[in-house]
Copies of this chain bind each other. A is one copy, B any other.
Amino acid sequence: LPSATIERIEKIAEKLGYHPNMLARRLASNKSFQIGYAVPLTFPGRGAFQIPYFSMILDAAVIESFARSYNIAIYPLGDDSSSCADKLTDLVKTKQVDGLIVSGLKRGSPVPGFLKKEGIPFVIVGSLPEISGIPCVNYSPGKAIKRLLAELSRKSYRKIHFVTGDMNYYDAVNQKEIFTECLVPYNFNVREHVGDYSRACGYRLAPEIVENIGKEKECVFFANDRMASGFFRYCAENRINIPGTLGVCGCDDEDYTKALYPSLTTIRQPRARMGHAAVDVLMKSIEKPSSEINPVEIEAQFILNSSI
């Protein structure tokens, strides 16, 4: 249309106080122009967005979807089961959302398979389902872990305590596998501890690790910064010197670790980029529902600070 006409129409619309009715527009075009962000409510006493992982991805996803004229609506999920898959499916079938970003799934969750079978546009963030052909966005810590190990070797560390994450989650398993692979060229003395991502866990494991320090130079590599922060707390209470007595490395690069001393060496999870990528992938499956989409992997970054 000629821009003169457009302008004239806008003038009149303004004068008449006209506002388009989005509800009617949505019904007519059979699209909600909304994306659903499904988050788990499984952390007792702690809302999903108090976990920086979910809130940072949300932040990025909100910005990215606004740039594409979509809104983001939040859908809390009670548990990660087939009833949850039903609820998610309904959100699309009842036209409340055009597609879903699903995060916080446990390994072996029935959700991705179900959604795919039902032809729902969706993208999984932070979990790589066993089934193939599922659109998903993950991060790969491989390069960062290699750099960490090189640094530990250079600094003559000999023993590494590896505290895993909650093995119910893909990230924890993936991280462990990659860590194990990366160890091959070295001959570190490795001791594994099963963790659960909680601060209390880092605190609880601390005495055993600290009391058994031998002659070898030792380092603790935590699956996330949160556990590392619990360990820091124990060390502060007991006047244990980091990295003098032993080194510590975390994972995630959480903001709050900037309050800790010494500065925590860590692996930065590219959450903002994951959020942007999730919307990007989802948009593709909304626009071309049948197309196969390749999993997206975003490289993590090694952040060398003074705790090793």
Give the B-binding residues of A (Cβ under 8 A): 19-24, 26-27, 30, 32, 34, 41, 46-50, 52, 55-56, 58-60, 62-63, 66, 71-76, 90, 93-96, 199, 229-230, 232-233, 236-237, 254-256, 258-261, 272
Contact = CB atoms under 8 A, between A and B. Distances in A.
The 8 closest A-B pairs by CB, nearest first: A47-B59, A256-B256, A236-B261, A229-B259, A49-B55, A19-B93, A23-B27, A73-B73
Contact of A56 (B30, B49, B233, B260): B49
Contact of A90 (B19, B27, B52, B74): B19
Nearest to A34: B73
Given A50-B59, A259-B259, 15 more contacts: A24-B27, A27-B27, A47-B60, A47-B62, A49-B49, A49-B55, A50-B52, A58-B74, A62-B74, A66-B76, A71-B73, A73-B74, A233-B261, A256-B256, A260-B260
Contacts of A229: 256, 259
A256 B254 CA distance: 10
14 contacts: A19-B93, A19-B94, A21-B94, A26-B26, A26-B27, A48-B59, A49-B49, A49-B58, A49-B59, A50-B56, A58-B74, A233-B260, A233-B261, A256-B259
B55 A76 contact: no
Contact of A22 (B95, B254, B260, B272): B95
Contact of A55 (B50, B66, B73): B50
Contacts of A95: 21-23
Contacts of A47: 55-56, 58-60, 62-63, 272
Contacts of A46: 255
A260 B90 CA distance: 44
